Amino acid sequence: MNLSVAGDSGALDYATFASDHRIIRYLFLAGLTVLIYDHLLSLSMEVKSIRSSKVRPSTCWFLVVRYLGLVTTLSQFPYYFLPLDHAVCLKLQWLWDVPIIVQEVLVEASLALRVIAMYGFNKWVFLGLATATSAVAATSLRAMILYGQHPDLIQAPGLAGCHPAFTRQ
């Protein structure tokens, strides 16, 4: 059985696709397991720290940065493992872009704040970071517009989850 992918010059045989799909699912499951394990290891310390002190903006920032990644990854579980309609899979691909972009912005803002604080809030360091961030944001936006198409989805019988097709070219 061959599975044709839109925009692909060839056809993908079912056995190869099923093997690739299984590997992608196993890697997702391994990453999710490590992420949950990491969060469980430090959960008791985080709860003690939050209860023992006054909740400050930095505490809220930490919690949002730390747990948004966990929530986003947990919300992607159905995409890989539940039998979903093809139209639902297409919508889910666009829906998960938002929390991933929010995560990236929060992490980059955290790193920028740390660098600015490390250099004593020097205006030249701030200007350099602002220039670099603007260049990266403009380049990323342009790349998303020009090349940001999601991989094609294949409807594969007998496999649960959504099936993105990544060509090997």
Tens digit of each residue's pLDDT (9 = 90 or more) over 126-152: 899 889 888 988 887 787 777 666 667
Tens digit of each residue's pLDDT (9 = 90 or more) over 73-118: 898 888 888 888 888 887 887 777 778 778 888 888 888 888 888 9
CA-CA distance, 150 to 51, in Å (whole number)? 43
Token pair belonging to 38: 């990491």
* Residues near 83 by beta carbon (within 8 Å), at least 6 away in sequence: 160, 161
- pLDDT of residue 19 exceeding 90, the answer is no
The structural domains of the chain, with segments of one domain joined by +, span: 2-164
